[in-house]
Amino acid sequence: MSSLLFTLLNNPDFKEGIMWQRVSWQANSTIFTEGDQGREVYLVLTGELRVLGKVDLDDQRKIQPGFGTFAKGDIFGEMVMFDHLPRSATVVSLTDVELAIIKAENLFVFLDKHPDCGYPIMKELLSIVVQRLRKANQRTFSLFAWGLKSKGLDNHL
């Protein structure tokens, strides 16, 4: 949960309508799709969302399993702050949602001009990215172990 970004939204120098936008979506709406270009970071104000990723199965079937959920106070889309690559997942709303949409460029400009709050926000963002990386590593290791066991290869290690 990003309490510092909530605080940022209330900062008089980070004005709604200029530095960020409040947008609502109905349940079952796609916020963005894997492969989309984007330079926005999202903060969940209300509602719940799901992260979906494309998975190609051996027989050429494709599925899109859920990899996590977001709720009030969570941020997503933050990877665009650190690279200019397309979105790496799809995010859909499970319920009606209200999001704060912050352009990465606006956030960087503000954080540069206000290092007193910029540094703690960047630390918080880095902490979120690291937590997600650790969770992704755990899932990868679990899937790798499952794959070895399913092929009977775990006995040879």
Range 3-150 classified under CATH 2.40.160.20: no
> Per-residue pLDDT for the chain (157 aa), expressed as one digit of tens each?
557 788 899 999 999 999 999 999 999 999 999 999 999 999 999 999 999 877 666 667 655 556 788 999 999 998 888 888 999 889 999 999 999 999 999 999 999 999 888 888 888 888 887 887 787 777 767 767 777 777 776 666 5
Q: Where are the domains of the chain?
A: 3-150
DSSP class of residue 153 equals: G
The burial class, CB within 10 Å (0-12 / 13-18 / 19+), for 45 is middle
Side chain identity, residue 156: H
Separation CA 97–CA 17 (nearest Å) = 18
Q: Are 148 and 157 in contact (CB under 8 A)?
A: yes
Q: What is the pTM of this model?
A: 0.80
Tokens of 1: 């949960």
